[in-house]
Amino acid sequence: MSPRRPAQGLVRPYVVTNGRSEPSRNTFDLVTLVIGVPDRPLQCLGPEHRRLVLLVRAGALSVAEIAAHLHLPVSICKVLLGDLVDSGHLLTRAPVPRAQLPTSQLLQEVLDGLRARL
């Protein structure tokens, strides 16, 4: 006999996303930051959408953090995020790209220029 699953999570993921498996926008990375827009009405949203908006209104979270807090797969969260960005409830910001270090030649030229001025 298999162990019983808890009552939490009885709704299948495809029901949460209305049968969609891809977000309307495919711009969400695991580290994309999500920010809630204040003063947007929540009455028109479903329960999962509402939970997501309330979660990010407290502060910016990444897509991976949202999925962990909501106990939902990342793919489902991306579909929900796409809906909420389209409706104007959320804003997203791409992660800041990693800065490239200057070459040693450029640093040497800067140092030589500074020495010439002093």
60-82 mean pLDDT? 90
Q: What is the crossing angle of helices 74-87 and 63-70, to 10°?
A: 110
For the chain, domains (ranges, CATH) are 13-96 (1.10.10)
- Angle, CA 69 vertex, CA 63 and CA 70 arms, to 5°: 90
Per residue in 77-92, pLDDT tens?
888 898 889 888 999 8
To which residue do tokens 């909420």 refer? 84
Quick one: tokens of 33? 């930051």
Q: What percent of the chain has pLDDT over 70?
A: 78
Mean pLDDT for all residues in the chain: 82
Nearest to 54 by CA among 65, 42, 64, 44: 42
pTM of the model: 0.67
CA distance 32 to 74: 12
Q: Round to whole Å and give the CA distance between 114 and 118.
A: 6
- Supply 55's token pair: 């979660």
| Distance, first Cα to last Cα, the chain | 82
What are the tokens at 18?
Answer: 């209305």
